[in-house]
Amino acid sequence: MIRLSTEPFEPGAELTAFCAGRTESGAVASFVGIARADAGQTTALELEAYPGFTEVEIGRTAETASERFSLHDVLIVHRHGQIAPGEPIVLVATAAAHRREAFEACDYLMDYLKSRAPFWKKEHGPAGARWVEPTARDLDDIARWD
């Protein structure tokens, strides 16, 4: 399931629901990304998305991950709009028969979300606002999957 939200979400509750009733999955791996304050330099994070389009694009990559890593299921909850420091931005959870596939799929999906997903990211702070692009490290991380 892919879900975009402008509202805060509770990662623990989402993960509990995702795990419920899984009798064939031997592993669930998850990642939660949280907005940083960067020592007071970021007072808000703003993510722009195109609802409808963004979910479809993320869904394509989730399908690729499901096939590549033999996943039983995927959950991606991603915020957009204004996000305060300390609030969750993203939750990725993957269910598979074995831990290695679940871990690798979760890592793969996060690398995609960080570098290629159709979001536009702006940080707001005391010095003003600035658009944020993927870093060289982000691009190296995603390149290892090609």
Q: Count of residues for the chain?
A: 146
Per-residue model confidence (pLDDT) at position 41: 87
Q: Full-prediction pTM beyond 0.85?
A: yes
Could you tell me how far CA 13 lies from the centroid of its own chain? Answer: 16
Question: In which order are the strands placed within the sheet that holds 44-49?
Answer: 81-83, 44-49, 119-125, 128-132
Domains observed in the chain: 2-143 (3.90.1170.40)
Q: How many CA atoms lie within 13 A of 128 on its CB side?
A: 2
* 41-44-46 Cα angle (round to 5): 125
Per-residue model confidence (pLDDT) at position 135: 92
Q: Let me know: does 122 contact 46? Beta carbons within 8 Å.
A: yes
Instruction: Give just the sign of the alpha carbon dihedral 140, 145, 58, 102.
Output: negative
What is the tens place of the pLDDT at every residue in 4-32?
999 999 999 999 999 999 999 999 999 99
Q: List, for the chain, all residue ranges whose pLDDT scores fall below the cut of 50.
A: none
Per-residue model confidence (pLDDT) at position 39: 75
Q: How many CB atoms are located within 10 Å of the residue 42 CB?
A: 20
Q: What is the dihedral of CA 105, 74, 135, 89, to 10 degrees?
A: -140
d(CA 142, CA 101): 17
